[in-house]
Homo-oligomer: A and B are copies of this chain.
Protein backbone atom coordinates (compact mmCIF):
# COMPACT_ATOMS: atom_id res chain seq x y z
CA UNK A 1 0.00 0.00 0.00
CA UNK A 2 2.87 2.31 0.82
CA UNK A 3 5.48 0.32 -1.09
CA UNK A 4 6.33 3.20 -3.39
CA UNK A 5 6.49 5.95 -0.84
CA UNK A 6 9.63 7.78 0.19
CA UNK A 7 10.87 7.70 3.80
CA UNK A 8 9.60 11.24 4.35
CA UNK A 9 6.17 10.39 2.97
CA UNK A 10 6.09 7.28 5.15
CA UNK A 11 6.77 9.41 8.22
CA UNK A 12 4.06 11.92 7.26
CA UNK A 13 1.53 9.20 6.55
CA UNK A 14 2.37 7.45 9.78
CA UNK A 15 1.93 10.61 11.83
CA UNK A 16 -1.39 11.40 10.16
CA UNK A 17 -2.60 7.89 10.95
CA UNK A 18 -1.29 8.17 14.50
CA UNK A 19 -3.08 11.49 15.01
CA UNK A 20 -6.43 9.74 14.67
CA UNK A 21 -5.30 6.98 17.00
CA UNK A 22 -4.31 9.54 19.61
CA UNK A 23 -7.62 11.37 19.18
CA UNK A 24 -9.52 8.10 19.66
CA UNK A 25 -7.45 7.30 22.74
CA UNK A 26 -8.53 10.67 24.13
CA UNK A 27 -12.14 9.73 23.42
CA UNK A 28 -11.73 6.41 25.24
CA UNK A 29 -10.14 8.26 28.15
CA UNK A 30 -12.98 10.77 28.26
CA UNK A 31 -15.44 7.89 28.68
CA UNK A 32 -13.53 7.07 31.86
CA UNK A 33 -14.07 10.60 33.17
CA UNK A 34 -17.72 10.41 32.22
CA UNK A 35 -18.14 7.06 33.96
CA UNK A 36 -16.71 8.28 37.26
CA UNK A 37 -17.95 11.87 37.27
CA UNK A 38 -21.38 11.96 35.63
CA UNK A 39 -22.62 8.64 34.21
CA UNK A 40 -25.99 7.38 35.47
CA UNK A 41 -25.61 4.09 37.32
CA UNK A 42 -27.96 2.15 35.05
CA UNK A 43 -25.64 2.75 32.09
CA UNK A 44 -22.87 0.53 33.47
CA UNK A 45 -23.40 -2.50 31.23
CA UNK A 46 -23.86 -0.42 28.10
CA UNK A 47 -20.74 1.56 28.94
CA UNK A 48 -18.82 -1.72 29.16
CA UNK A 49 -19.89 -2.46 25.58
CA UNK A 50 -18.94 1.02 24.44
CA UNK A 51 -15.49 0.81 26.01
CA UNK A 52 -14.94 -2.65 24.56
CA UNK A 53 -15.88 -1.38 21.11
CA UNK A 54 -13.52 1.57 21.22
CA UNK A 55 -10.75 -0.56 22.70
CA UNK A 56 -11.30 -2.91 19.75
CA UNK A 57 -10.85 0.03 17.37
CA UNK A 58 -7.68 1.17 19.13
CA UNK A 59 -6.25 -2.33 19.18
CA UNK A 60 -6.95 -2.80 15.48
CA UNK A 61 -5.29 0.52 14.70
CA UNK A 62 -2.21 -0.27 16.81
CA UNK A 63 -1.79 -3.70 15.23
CA UNK A 64 -2.52 -2.52 11.68
CA UNK A 65 0.05 -4.11 9.32
CA UNK A 66 0.58 -0.73 7.65
CA UNK A 67 2.24 0.44 10.86
CA UNK A 68 5.04 -2.11 10.54
CA UNK A 69 5.53 -1.02 6.95
CA UNK A 70 5.60 2.70 7.79
CA UNK A 71 7.88 2.08 10.75
CA UNK A 72 10.29 0.21 8.52
CA UNK A 73 10.38 2.93 5.86
CA UNK A 74 10.10 6.11 7.87
CA UNK A 75 13.24 7.99 8.74
CA UNK A 76 13.38 10.41 11.61
CA UNK A 77 14.71 13.90 11.15
CA UNK A 78 16.00 14.80 14.58
CA UNK A 79 15.40 13.62 18.15
CA UNK A 80 11.72 14.58 18.31
CA UNK A 81 10.83 12.52 15.26
CA UNK A 82 13.00 9.70 16.61
CA UNK A 83 11.07 9.75 19.86
CA UNK A 84 7.75 9.75 17.96
CA UNK A 85 8.80 6.65 16.03
CA UNK A 86 10.09 4.97 19.20
CA UNK A 87 6.77 5.44 20.99
CA UNK A 88 4.68 4.31 18.04
CA UNK A 89 6.87 1.22 17.67
CA UNK A 90 6.56 0.51 21.37
CA UNK A 91 2.74 0.70 21.24
CA UNK A 92 2.68 -1.41 18.08
CA UNK A 93 4.92 -4.15 19.47
CA UNK A 94 2.93 -4.23 22.69
CA UNK A 95 -0.44 -4.38 20.95
CA UNK A 96 0.57 -7.15 18.56
CA UNK A 97 1.30 -9.39 21.54
CA UNK A 98 -2.26 -9.07 22.85
CA UNK A 99 -5.13 -10.84 21.09
CA UNK A 100 -7.94 -8.45 20.15
CA UNK A 101 -10.43 -10.59 22.05
CA UNK A 102 -8.42 -10.18 25.25
CA UNK A 103 -7.97 -6.43 24.81
CA UNK A 104 -11.70 -5.81 24.38
CA UNK A 105 -12.64 -8.24 27.14
CA UNK A 106 -10.38 -6.43 29.61
CA UNK A 107 -11.99 -3.11 28.65
CA UNK A 108 -15.50 -4.52 29.06
CA UNK A 109 -14.87 -6.35 32.34
CA UNK A 110 -12.90 -3.61 34.10
CA UNK A 111 -15.48 -1.00 33.13
CA UNK A 112 -18.25 -2.95 34.82
CA UNK A 113 -15.95 -4.06 37.64
CA UNK A 114 -15.60 -0.49 38.82
CA UNK A 115 -19.29 -0.27 39.67
CA UNK A 116 -19.18 -3.64 41.42
CA UNK A 117 -16.18 -2.53 43.47
CA UNK A 118 -17.85 0.77 44.41
CA UNK A 119 -20.91 -1.09 45.64
CA UNK A 120 -18.80 -3.62 47.56
CA UNK A 121 -16.83 -0.83 49.19
CA UNK A 122 -20.01 1.02 50.13
CA UNK A 123 -21.33 -2.10 51.84
CA UNK A 124 -17.99 -3.43 53.15
CA UNK A 125 -18.76 -6.63 51.28
CA UNK A 126 -15.62 -8.31 49.94
CA UNK A 127 -17.57 -11.38 48.80
CA UNK A 128 -19.63 -9.21 46.45
CA UNK A 129 -16.46 -8.05 44.69
CA UNK A 130 -14.50 -11.30 44.76
CA UNK A 131 -15.81 -13.05 41.60
CA UNK A 132 -15.20 -9.84 39.65
CA UNK A 133 -11.73 -9.43 41.12
CA UNK A 134 -10.88 -13.02 40.25
CA UNK A 135 -11.96 -12.42 36.68
CA UNK A 136 -9.90 -9.23 36.44
CA UNK A 137 -6.82 -10.95 37.88
CA UNK A 138 -7.23 -13.86 35.46
CA UNK A 139 -7.49 -11.51 32.48
CA UNK A 140 -4.49 -9.46 33.52
CA UNK A 141 -2.46 -12.61 34.18
CA UNK A 142 -3.32 -13.75 30.67
CA UNK A 143 -2.32 -10.37 29.29
CA UNK A 144 0.91 -10.31 31.29
CA UNK A 145 1.81 -13.78 30.02
CA UNK A 146 1.25 -12.62 26.44
CA UNK A 147 3.40 -9.54 26.99
CA UNK A 148 6.15 -11.27 28.96
CA UNK A 149 6.64 -14.06 26.41
CA UNK A 150 8.28 -16.30 29.00
CA UNK A 151 9.67 -13.47 31.12
CA UNK A 152 8.38 -12.20 34.42
CA UNK A 153 4.65 -11.40 34.47
CA UNK A 154 4.76 -8.54 36.94
CA UNK A 155 7.66 -6.89 35.11
CA UNK A 156 5.57 -6.97 31.94
CA UNK A 157 2.82 -5.04 33.72
CA UNK A 158 5.21 -2.58 35.37
CA UNK A 159 6.69 -1.72 32.01
CA UNK A 160 3.28 -0.40 30.93
CA UNK A 161 3.25 2.27 33.60
CA UNK A 162 6.96 2.88 34.00
CA UNK A 163 8.94 1.93 30.92
CA UNK A 164 12.26 0.42 31.92
CA UNK A 165 11.28 -0.32 35.53
CA UNK A 166 11.33 -3.87 36.91
CA UNK A 167 10.35 -5.30 40.24
CA UNK A 168 14.06 -5.77 40.90
CA UNK A 169 14.86 -2.10 40.28
CA UNK A 170 11.85 -0.88 42.24
CA UNK A 171 12.43 -3.46 44.95
CA UNK A 172 15.99 -2.19 45.37
CA UNK A 173 14.77 1.38 45.85
CA UNK A 174 12.09 0.26 48.30
CA UNK A 175 14.62 -1.87 50.22
CA UNK A 176 16.83 1.18 50.56
CA UNK A 177 13.92 3.38 51.68
CA UNK A 178 12.25 1.06 54.13
CA UNK A 179 14.75 1.09 57.05
CA UNK A 180 15.08 4.87 57.11
CA UNK A 181 11.30 5.33 56.77
CA UNK A 182 10.57 2.84 59.53
CA UNK A 183 13.17 4.45 61.78
CA UNK A 184 11.72 7.89 61.12
CA UNK A 185 8.22 6.61 61.77
CA UNK A 186 9.24 5.02 65.08
CA UNK A 187 11.04 8.17 66.16
CA UNK A 188 8.02 10.31 65.34
CA UNK A 189 5.50 8.06 67.05
CA UNK A 190 7.72 8.01 70.13
CA UNK A 191 8.25 11.76 70.16
CA UNK A 192 7.25 13.86 73.16
CA UNK A 193 5.47 16.49 71.19
CA UNK A 194 2.53 15.72 68.91
CA UNK A 195 0.75 18.44 66.98
CA UNK A 196 -2.98 18.82 67.46
CA UNK A 197 -5.13 18.10 64.43
CA UNK A 198 -7.30 20.73 62.80
CA UNK A 199 -10.80 20.34 64.18
CA UNK A 200 -14.16 21.69 63.16
CA UNK A 201 -16.76 21.40 60.44
CA UNK A 202 -16.08 22.87 57.03
CA UNK A 203 -19.08 23.21 54.69
CA UNK A 204 -18.45 21.27 51.47
CA UNK A 205 -19.46 24.19 49.20
CA UNK A 206 -16.91 26.43 50.88
CA UNK A 207 -14.30 23.68 50.59
CA UNK A 208 -14.97 23.59 46.86
CA UNK A 209 -14.57 27.35 46.55
CA UNK A 210 -11.18 27.17 48.22
CA UNK A 211 -10.28 24.08 46.19
CA UNK A 212 -10.81 26.17 43.05
CA UNK A 213 -8.58 28.86 44.50
CA UNK A 214 -5.89 26.28 45.19
CA UNK A 215 -6.03 24.87 41.66
CA UNK A 216 -5.70 28.42 40.35
CA UNK A 217 -2.82 29.10 42.73
CA UNK A 218 -0.97 26.15 41.20
CA UNK A 219 -1.57 27.42 37.68
CA UNK A 220 -4.42 25.17 36.58
CA UNK A 221 -5.75 26.44 33.22
CA UNK A 222 -9.54 26.55 33.58
CA UNK A 223 -10.01 27.30 29.92
CA UNK A 224 -8.70 23.80 29.21
CA UNK A 225 -10.14 21.90 32.14
CA UNK A 226 -12.76 21.65 34.87
CA UNK A 227 -13.10 20.45 38.46
CA UNK A 228 -15.84 18.06 39.56
CA UNK A 229 -16.65 15.81 42.47
CA UNK A 230 -15.99 12.06 42.25
CA UNK A 231 -15.70 9.15 44.68
CA UNK A 232 -11.99 8.81 43.90
CA UNK A 233 -10.05 11.96 42.94
CA UNK A 234 -8.37 11.65 39.56
CA UNK A 235 -7.15 13.65 36.59
CA UNK A 236 -8.12 12.81 33.05
CA UNK A 237 -7.15 13.71 29.51
CA UNK A 238 -4.26 15.24 27.64
CA UNK A 239 -3.69 18.34 25.58
CA UNK A 240 -6.39 20.96 25.79
CA UNK A 241 -9.00 19.05 27.79
CA UNK A 242 -7.50 17.98 31.11
CA UNK A 243 -10.06 17.56 33.87
CA UNK A 244 -9.66 16.95 37.58
CA UNK A 245 -11.93 15.69 40.33
CA UNK A 246 -11.86 15.91 44.09
CA UNK A 247 -14.08 14.98 47.05
CA UNK A 248 -15.28 16.63 50.22
CA UNK A 249 -15.64 15.32 53.77
CA UNK A 250 -17.06 17.91 56.14
CA UNK A 251 -14.60 17.25 59.00
CA UNK A 252 -11.53 16.74 56.78
CA UNK A 253 -10.90 19.74 54.57
CA UNK A 254 -7.27 18.74 53.93
CA UNK A 255 -8.59 15.68 52.11
CA UNK A 256 -10.27 17.93 49.56
CA UNK A 257 -7.53 20.55 49.37
CA UNK A 258 -4.56 18.22 48.99
CA UNK A 259 -6.40 15.93 46.59
CA UNK A 260 -7.11 19.00 44.50
CA UNK A 261 -3.48 20.14 44.56
CA UNK A 262 -2.36 16.59 43.78
CA UNK A 263 -4.62 16.32 40.74
CA UNK A 264 -3.67 19.83 39.69
CA UNK A 265 -0.07 18.57 39.56
CA UNK A 266 -1.09 15.80 37.17
CA UNK A 267 -3.16 18.19 35.10
CA UNK A 268 -0.49 20.88 35.01
CA UNK A 269 1.90 18.31 33.57
CA UNK A 270 -0.50 17.47 30.74
CA UNK A 271 -1.48 21.09 30.18
CA UNK A 272 2.19 22.09 30.17
CA UNK A 273 3.28 19.83 27.34
CA UNK A 274 4.46 21.56 24.19
CA UNK A 275 1.44 22.23 21.93
CA UNK A 276 3.52 20.96 19.00
CA UNK A 277 3.10 17.49 20.50
CA UNK A 278 -0.72 17.69 20.61
CA UNK A 279 -2.33 14.44 19.44
CA UNK A 280 1.06 12.81 18.90
CA UNK A 281 2.64 10.04 21.02
CA UNK A 282 4.78 12.66 22.79
CA UNK A 283 1.75 14.68 23.87
CA UNK A 284 1.29 13.03 27.26
CA UNK A 285 3.19 12.44 30.47
CA UNK A 286 6.12 10.09 29.96
CA UNK A 287 5.29 7.57 32.70
CA UNK A 288 3.12 7.18 35.78
CA UNK A 289 6.17 7.66 38.00
CA UNK A 290 7.06 10.96 36.39
CA UNK A 291 3.38 11.91 36.54
CA UNK A 292 3.31 11.21 40.24
CA UNK A 293 6.47 13.25 40.67
CA UNK A 294 4.48 16.26 39.50
CA UNK A 295 1.37 15.56 41.57
CA UNK A 296 3.44 14.78 44.66
CA UNK A 297 5.81 17.74 44.45
CA UNK A 298 2.78 20.05 44.01
CA UNK A 299 0.97 18.39 46.90
CA UNK A 300 3.81 17.81 49.36
CA UNK A 301 7.12 19.54 48.79
CA UNK A 302 5.30 22.72 47.73
CA UNK A 303 1.74 22.42 49.07
CA UNK A 304 2.67 21.10 52.53
CA UNK A 305 5.69 23.39 52.92
CA UNK A 306 5.82 25.81 55.83
CA UNK A 307 5.56 28.97 53.69
CA UNK A 308 2.69 27.70 51.55
CA UNK A 309 0.70 26.43 54.53
CA UNK A 310 1.11 29.89 56.11
CA UNK A 311 -0.69 31.32 53.09
CA UNK A 312 -3.28 28.51 53.19
CA UNK A 313 -3.85 29.27 56.88
CA UNK A 314 -4.83 32.81 55.93
CA UNK A 315 -7.07 31.62 53.11
CA UNK A 316 -8.81 29.09 55.35
CA UNK A 317 -9.36 31.71 57.99
CA UNK A 318 -10.82 34.03 55.38
CA UNK A 319 -13.18 31.30 54.16
CA UNK A 320 -14.08 29.55 57.40
CA UNK A 321 -13.36 32.04 60.19
CA UNK A 322 -11.05 31.30 63.15
CA UNK A 323 -9.52 27.80 63.12
CA UNK A 324 -8.81 25.39 65.98
CA UNK A 325 -5.07 25.74 65.33
CA UNK A 326 -3.85 28.85 67.09
CA UNK A 327 -1.42 30.17 64.48
CA UNK A 328 0.27 29.43 61.16
CA UNK A 329 2.95 27.34 62.83
CA UNK A 330 0.42 25.12 64.59
CA UNK A 331 -1.47 24.89 61.32
CA UNK A 332 1.69 23.77 59.50
CA UNK A 333 2.19 21.04 62.09
CA UNK A 334 -1.47 19.97 61.78
CA UNK A 335 -1.18 19.71 58.00
CA UNK A 336 1.88 17.49 58.43
CA UNK A 337 0.65 15.47 61.37
CA UNK A 338 2.01 11.91 61.26
CA UNK A 339 -0.36 9.18 62.30
CA UNK A 340 -0.90 5.58 61.26
CA UNK A 341 -4.12 5.52 59.26
CA UNK A 342 -5.95 3.05 57.09
CA UNK A 343 -6.28 5.07 53.94
CA UNK A 344 -3.41 5.56 51.50
CA UNK A 345 -4.77 8.70 49.88
CA UNK A 346 -5.02 10.37 53.30
CA UNK A 347 -1.62 9.20 54.51
CA UNK A 348 1.09 11.56 55.67
CA UNK A 349 4.37 11.71 53.77
CA UNK A 350 6.10 9.30 56.13
CA UNK A 351 3.48 6.55 56.06
CA UNK A 352 2.55 6.93 52.41
CA UNK A 353 5.33 4.79 51.01
CA UNK A 354 4.63 2.02 53.52
CA UNK A 355 1.12 1.81 52.08
CA UNK A 356 2.64 1.41 48.64
CA UNK A 357 5.16 -1.24 49.69
CA UNK A 358 2.30 -3.32 51.10
CA UNK A 359 0.46 -3.21 47.77
CA UNK A 360 3.64 -3.80 45.76
CA UNK A 361 4.44 -6.95 47.68
CA UNK A 362 0.90 -8.32 47.44
CA UNK A 363 0.81 -7.65 43.71
CA UNK A 364 4.16 -9.36 43.15
CA UNK A 365 2.90 -12.44 44.96
CA UNK A 366 -0.33 -12.36 43.00
CA UNK A 367 1.50 -12.41 39.68
CA UNK A 368 4.10 -14.92 40.87
CA UNK A 369 1.18 -17.28 41.52
CA UNK A 370 1.94 -17.29 45.26
CA UNK A 371 -1.30 -15.58 46.19
CA UNK A 372 -4.84 -15.77 44.85
CA UNK A 373 -7.48 -13.05 44.71
CA UNK A 374 -9.49 -14.86 47.38
CA UNK A 375 -6.53 -14.64 49.76
CA UNK A 376 -5.88 -10.93 49.28
CA UNK A 377 -8.05 -9.71 52.15
CA UNK A 378 -6.34 -11.88 54.74
CA UNK A 379 -2.87 -11.15 53.36
CA UNK A 380 -3.66 -7.43 53.43
CA UNK A 381 -4.89 -7.49 57.01
CA UNK A 382 -1.92 -9.47 58.27
CA UNK A 383 0.60 -7.21 56.59
CA UNK A 384 -1.19 -4.05 57.67
CA UNK A 385 -1.07 -5.13 61.29
CA UNK A 386 2.68 -5.77 60.92
CA UNK A 387 3.53 -2.50 59.21
CA UNK A 388 1.12 -0.11 60.91
CA UNK A 389 0.54 -1.78 64.25
CA UNK A 390 -3.22 -1.51 63.86
CA UNK A 391 -5.84 -4.08 62.85
CA UNK A 392 -7.96 -3.24 59.80
CA UNK A 393 -11.46 -2.61 61.13
CA UNK A 394 -13.41 -3.02 57.90
CA UNK A 395 -12.72 -3.84 54.26
CA UNK A 396 -13.36 -0.29 53.05
CA UNK A 397 -10.41 0.65 55.27
CA UNK A 398 -8.41 -2.23 53.85
CA UNK A 399 -8.41 -4.30 50.72
CA UNK A 400 -11.42 -2.49 49.22
CA UNK A 401 -10.15 1.06 49.67
CA UNK A 402 -8.60 1.66 46.23
CA UNK A 403 -10.25 1.63 42.81
CA UNK A 404 -7.10 0.37 41.07
CA UNK A 405 -7.52 -3.38 41.22
CA UNK A 406 -11.08 -3.18 39.89
CA UNK A 407 -9.62 -1.38 36.89
CA UNK A 408 -6.99 -4.09 36.53
CA UNK A 409 -4.21 -1.58 37.27
CA UNK A 410 -1.75 -4.07 38.77
CA UNK A 411 1.77 -2.63 38.68
CA UNK A 412 0.51 0.91 39.00
CA UNK A 413 0.91 1.41 42.78
CA UNK A 414 4.73 1.34 42.92
CA UNK A 415 4.85 4.30 40.56
CA UNK A 416 3.38 6.43 43.36
CA UNK A 417 6.48 5.87 45.48
CA UNK A 418 8.72 6.22 42.47
CA UNK A 419 7.00 9.56 41.98
CA UNK A 420 7.85 10.51 45.56
CA UNK A 421 11.48 9.59 44.94
CA UNK A 422 11.54 11.65 41.76
CA UNK A 423 9.79 14.54 43.54
CA UNK A 424 12.54 14.45 46.18
CA UNK A 425 15.18 14.83 43.48
CA UNK A 426 13.27 17.57 41.67
CA UNK A 427 12.82 19.54 44.89
CA UNK A 428 16.53 19.48 45.55
CA UNK A 429 17.21 20.78 42.05
CA UNK A 430 14.39 23.33 42.30
CA UNK A 431 15.77 24.78 45.53
CA UNK A 432 19.14 25.24 43.83
CA UNK A 433 17.55 26.85 40.75
CA UNK A 434 15.13 29.12 42.65
CA UNK A 435 16.87 30.29 45.84
CA UNK A 436 14.03 32.57 47.00
CA UNK A 437 11.35 29.91 46.49
CA UNK A 438 10.00 30.16 50.03
CA UNK A 439 9.35 33.88 49.75
CA UNK A 440 7.03 33.38 46.78
CA UNK A 441 5.32 30.34 48.32
CA UNK A 442 4.57 32.42 51.41
CA UNK A 443 2.57 34.73 49.13
CA UNK A 444 0.71 31.75 47.66
CA UNK A 445 2.69 32.32 44.48
CA UNK A 446 3.80 28.99 43.05
CA UNK A 447 4.76 30.43 39.66
CA UNK A 448 8.56 30.35 40.11
CA UNK A 449 8.30 26.63 41.03
CA UNK A 450 5.75 25.61 38.45
CA UNK A 451 7.51 27.60 35.74
CA UNK A 452 10.76 25.75 36.48
CA UNK A 453 8.94 22.40 36.40
CA UNK A 454 7.22 23.29 33.16
CA UNK A 455 10.42 24.41 31.46
CA UNK A 456 12.71 21.64 32.65
CA UNK A 457 10.27 18.74 32.62
CA UNK A 458 6.58 19.14 31.76
CA UNK A 459 6.85 20.63 28.31
CA UNK A 460 8.85 17.65 27.01
CA UNK A 461 6.03 15.14 27.44
CA UNK A 462 7.10 11.69 26.34
CA UNK A 463 10.22 12.89 24.54
CA UNK A 464 12.61 11.01 26.82
CA UNK A 465 12.52 7.90 29.01
CA UNK A 466 11.32 8.38 32.60
CA UNK A 467 14.78 8.28 34.15
CA UNK A 468 16.20 10.52 31.43
CA UNK A 469 13.35 12.96 31.96
CA UNK A 470 14.10 13.27 35.67
CA UNK A 471 17.87 13.34 35.16
CA UNK A 472 17.59 16.06 32.50
CA UNK A 473 15.45 18.21 34.80
CA UNK A 474 17.60 17.66 37.91
CA UNK A 475 21.05 17.53 36.41
CA UNK A 476 21.74 14.30 38.30
CA UNK A 477 20.60 10.68 38.26
CA UNK A 478 17.54 10.06 40.43
CA UNK A 479 17.84 8.13 43.69
CA UNK A 480 15.89 7.82 46.93
CA UNK A 481 18.46 9.85 48.90
CA UNK A 482 17.03 13.36 48.42
CA UNK A 483 13.50 12.26 49.38
CA UNK A 484 14.68 10.60 52.58
CA UNK A 485 16.90 13.54 53.48
CA UNK A 486 13.96 15.88 52.95
CA UNK A 487 11.59 13.78 55.06
CA UNK A 488 14.08 13.40 57.91
CA UNK A 489 14.82 17.11 57.95
CA UNK A 490 11.20 18.22 57.71
CA UNK A 491 9.70 15.84 60.23
CA UNK A 492 12.75 15.91 62.49
CA UNK A 493 12.10 19.59 62.92
CA UNK A 494 8.32 19.37 63.34
CA UNK A 495 8.66 16.60 65.95
CA UNK A 496 11.85 17.99 67.52
CA UNK A 497 13.63 14.65 67.04
Is A278 an interface residue when CB atoms closer than 8 A count as contact? yes
Whether A20 contacts B240 in the complex (CB less than 8 A), given A34-B34, A279-B49, comes out as no
Whether A42 contacts B240 in the complex (CB less than 8 A), given A27-B54, A53-B24, comes out as yes
For residue A224, which residues in chain B have a CB less than 8 angstroms away from its CB?
A: 40, 42-43
Question: Using a CB-CB cutoff of 8 Å, which residues 2-47 of chain A contact chain B?
Answer: 19-21, 23-24, 26-27, 30-31, 34, 38-43, 45-47
Is A476 an interface residue when CB atoms closer than 8 A count as contact? no
Nearest chain B residue, comparing its CB with the CB of A226:
B40
For residue A42, which residues in chain B have a CB less than 8 angstroms away from its CB?
A: 221, 223-224, 240-241
The CA of A21 and the CA of B49, in the complex, are separated in Å by: 11
Nearest chain B residue, comparing its CB with the CB of A56:
B20
Say yes or no: A19 contacts B49, CB within 8 Å.
yes
Say yes or no: B39 contacts A241, CB within 8 Å.
yes
For residue A243, which residues in chain B have a CB less than 8 angstroms away from its CB?
A: 40
For residue A52, which residues in chain B have a CB less than 8 angstroms away from its CB?
A: 20, 23
Nearest chain B residue, comparing its CB with the CB of A48:
B23
Say yes or no: A223 contacts B41, CB within 8 Å.
yes
Is A225 an interface residue when CB atoms closer than 8 A count as contact? yes
Nearest chain B residue, comparing its CB with the CB of A46:
B240
The CA of A217 and the CA of B367, in the complex, are separated in Å by: 52
Q: Could you tell me the distance in whole angstroms from the C-beta of A280 to the nearest C-beta in chain B? A: 12
Whether A43 contacts B240 in the complex (CB less than 8 A), given A23-B52, A53-B24, comes out as yes
Is A398 an interface residue when CB atoms closer than 8 A count as contact? no
Is A239 an interface residue when CB atoms closer than 8 A count as contact? yes
Nearest chain B residue, comparing its CB with the CB of A104:
B20
The CA of A225 and the CA of B46, in the complex, are separated in Å by: 13
The CA of A241 and the CA of B45, in the complex, are separated in Å by: 10
12 further contact pairs, Cβ within 8 A, besides A30-B31, A42-B224: A19-B53, A20-B52, A20-B56, A24-B50, A24-B53, A24-B54, A26-B50, A27-B50, A38-B226, A42-B221, A46-B278, A46-B279
Q: Using a CB–CB distance below 8 Å, which chain A residues touch chain B? A: 19-21, 23-24, 26-27, 30-31, 34, 38-43, 45-47, 49-50, 52-54, 56-57, 221-226, 239-241, 243, 278-279
